[in-house]
Chain A
Amino acid sequence: MMENIKADLDRYFQNNSRSLNPSVKKKIKIIGENYGVHAIFVYRFGYFIESIINDKKLNLIKQLLLGAYYMLNFFVIKMYDIRINRKAKIGKGLYITHFGGIVISNCILGEHCTVNQRAQIEGDDFSSNEELCHIGDNVWIGPHAIIKKGIKIGDGATIAAGAVIRADVEKQCLALGNPARIVNKNYDNSILNV
Chain B
Amino acid sequence: MEKGNYSFRRLINDLEADLMSYAKNLLGPEQITFWDRIKIVFKFPTFWLLVFHRYRFWVHSRFKNKFIRMGMKIFSLLGQRIFEIITKSEILSTADIGPEFCFAGKGGVTLGAKKIGRGCIIYENVTIGRDHLYNIPELGEFVRVGANSVIYGGIKIGNGVIIKESTVLTKSVPDYCIIQGNPGRIVERLGNRNPNKVTFI
Chain A residues engaging chain B, CB cutoff 8 angstroms: 79-81, 98-101, 117-118, 143-144, 160-163, 176-178, 194
Q: Which residues of A contact B108 (CB under 8 A)?
A: 81, 100-101, 118
- Interface residues as binary, B76-95 with A (CB distance below 8 Å gives 1, 0 otherwise): 00000000010011100000
Given A118-B127, A161-B168: A176 and B85 interface contact (C-beta under 8 Å): no
User: What's the Cα separation between A176 and B89 when bound, in Å?
Assistant: 25
Output the least CB separation between B77 and chain A (Å): 10
Q: At the interface, is chain B mostly helix, strand, loop or mixed?
A: loop
The proximity string for B residues 118-158 relative to A, scoring 1 for CB distances below 8 Å and 0 otherwise, is 00000001010001111000000000000010101000000
CB < 8 Å: which of B90, B125, B182 contacts A98?
Answer: B90
| A163 CA to B183 CA, complexed, in Å | 9
Provide the residues of chain B in CB contact with A161, threshold 8 Å: 127, 150, 152, 168, 170
B148 contacts A144, C-beta separation under 8 Å? yes
Known contacts A98-B90, A100-B110, A118-B127; A144 and B168 CB within 8 A of each other: yes
CB proximity of B103 to chain A, nearest CB, Å: 14
Can you report 27 A-B residue pairs in the complex whose CB atoms are below 8 A from each other? A80-B85, A81-B88, A81-B108, A98-B90, A99-B88, A100-B88, A100-B89, A100-B110, A101-B88, A101-B108, A117-B110, A117-B127, A118-B108, A118-B127, A143-B110, A143-B150, A143-B152, A144-B148, A144-B168, A160-B168, A161-B152, A161-B170, A162-B150, A162-B166, A163-B182, A194-B131, A194-B134
Count, A-B residue pairs, CB within 8 A: 51
A194 (CB) vs chain B CBs: closest residue: B131
A78 to chain B: closest residue by CB: B85
- Known contacts A161-B152, A178-B182, then 10 further A-B pairs from the complex at CB < 8 Å, ordered by chain A residue: A79-B85, A98-B90, A99-B88, A101-B125, A144-B125, A161-B127, A161-B168, A162-B150, A162-B182, A194-B134
Chain B residue contacts of A100, Cβ below 8 A: 88-89, 108, 110, 125
* Nearest-neighbor residue (CB-CB) of B109 within chain A: A100
B41-67 with Cβ < 8 A to chain A = none
Interface centre among A80, A99, A162, A176 (most CB of B within 10 A): A162
CA–CA, A138 and B82, complex, Å: 33
Q: Which residues of B contact A117 (CB under 8 A)?
A: 110, 127
Closest chain-A Cβ to B26's Cβ sits at a distance in Å of: 21
Q: A80 to chain B: which residues have CB within 8 Å?
A: 85, 88
Contact across chains for A194 and B133 when beta carbons are under 8 A apart: yes
- Establish whether residues A177 and B182, one from each chain, have CB atoms under 8 Å apart when the complex forms: yes
**A183 and chain B: residue at smallest CB distance:** B183
- The interface residues of chain A lying within 8 Å CB-to-CB of B110 are 98, 100, 117, 143
* Residues in chain A near residue B88, CB distance under 8 A: 80-81, 99-101
Give the distance in Å from the alpha carbon of A98 to the alpha carbon of B183 in the complex.
23
Question: What are the residues of chain A within 8 A of B85 when measuring CB–CB?
Answer: 79-80
